[in-house]
Amino acid sequence: MDGANHSFSGGFILLGISDHPQLETILFVVILFSYLLTVVGNSSIILLSRLDARLHTPMYFFLSNLSSLDLAFTTSSVPQMLLNLWGPDKTISYGGCVTQLYVFLWLGATECILLVVMAFDRYVAVCRPLHYSSIVNPRLCRLLAAGAWLGGLGNSLIQSTFTLRLPLCGHRRVDNFLCEVPAMIKLACGDTRVHEAVLSGVCAFFTAVPLGVILVSYCSIARAVLRIGSAEGRRKALHTCLAHLLVVFLFYGSAIYGYLLPAKSGSQDQGKFISLFYSVVTPMVNPIIYTLRNKEVKGALRRLLGKGREAG
């Protein structure tokens, strides 16, 4: 960290909602339940996508990547969150805070890119259906997925390194549930305008730009859907896209609110619960949104359970 910083051998203190201790037990139960649902829901999608041959398609390859990402994303923050809510000890080691910062940013930025990749998949499926299998081939799928993970890692290296260079002047009380960029910036002392400008630029690139690309692609998809002759064809095309679009708005909406608003303005309580939303709620609801009305996933689950009963 910057030379202006004091020793952080004692780590940081994640305040969370320590000013409302009566709510900690309730929040602990809610977050634990949400985390268990996240693990079960996303693990089920990964398992079904691998075991059922009918789901060996690009869409489910990317959905499996998203589920793996959501599992890792929420696991990078929730266990520490639960630990701090359970008892009076709110500390996190310096190494733990740095690791959480790097991993959380890596996985969050990867999801930003992966949602663009999934929008591209839906665009080709709806707008170029006759050429879909030749365009979105297995090799391209692997390259796009790898590009998302590597791009997210690049974002994390830039943002985390700049954040850790901020002069903290011995401040170690993080008014949040986890170590993330907006909360760490609020600890900074001295002139942080250059750091904030760089961080805002990187955040804009990984949130506003991908969201703009997704919205443009969905304008093209909407025009293509309106040209489909049959009502059943339009319904099926819309059904494959609406789930992804809902996930996009949930994730990007909370990320833009949390990262692109001025770091030292606004309600800190709002910032805390926005952090909870994209670290706990979004990874939980993604598998629900994608599978609630998805006949292919439901069919795969029935076939898997049927085989299990036969084997028993």
pLDDT, position 10: 65
pLDDT, position 3: 44
pLDDT, position 184: 81
What's the average model confidence in pLDDT over 218-247?
Answer: 78
Which amino acid is it at 294?
N
Lowest-pLDDT range, 113-127, 193-207, 226-240?
Answer: 226-240
Classify residue 1: in a domain, yes or no. no
Average confidence score pLDDT of the chain: 81
Classify residue 5: in a domain, yes or no. no
Give the pairing type, strands 173-174 and 12-14.
parallel
Instruction: Grade residue 306 by pLDDT with cuts at 50, 70 and 90.
Output: low
**Residue by residue, what is the 3-state secondary structure of 53-76?**
HHHCCHHHHHHHHHHHHHHHHHHC
DSSP letter for 174, please: E
| Tokens (6 digits) for 272 | 């805390």
Q: Which of 201, 115, 206, 218 is nearest to 152 (CA)?
A: 206
Classify residue 40: in a domain, yes or no. yes
Classify residue 307: in a domain, yes or no. no
d(CA 254, CA 274): 6
pLDDT, position 182: 78
Classify residue 153: in a domain, yes or no. yes
d(CA 150, CA 137): 20
Number of domains in the chain: 1
pLDDT, position 193: 77
- Residue 149, domain CATH: 1.20.1070.10
* Structural domain containing residue 114: 12-298
Residue 5: pLDDT over 50: no
Q: Which residue has the tokens 């929730």?
A: 78
Instruction: Grade residue 268 by pLDDT with cuts at 50, 70 and 90.
Output: low
pLDDT, position 121: 92
Name the most confidently modeled range: 98-107, 144-153, 175-184: 144-153
For the chain, what percent of residues have pLDDT higher than 90?
Answer: 20
pLDDT, position 34: 92
pLDDT tens-digit readout, 271-300: 677 878 888 888 888 888 877 656 777 677
Contacts of 273 (CB under 8 A, 6+ apart): none
Classify residue 306: in a domain, yes or no. no
Instruction: Grade residue 2 by pLDDT with cuts at 50, 70 and 90.
Output: very low
pLDDT tens-digit readout, 43-57: 988 988 888 878 888
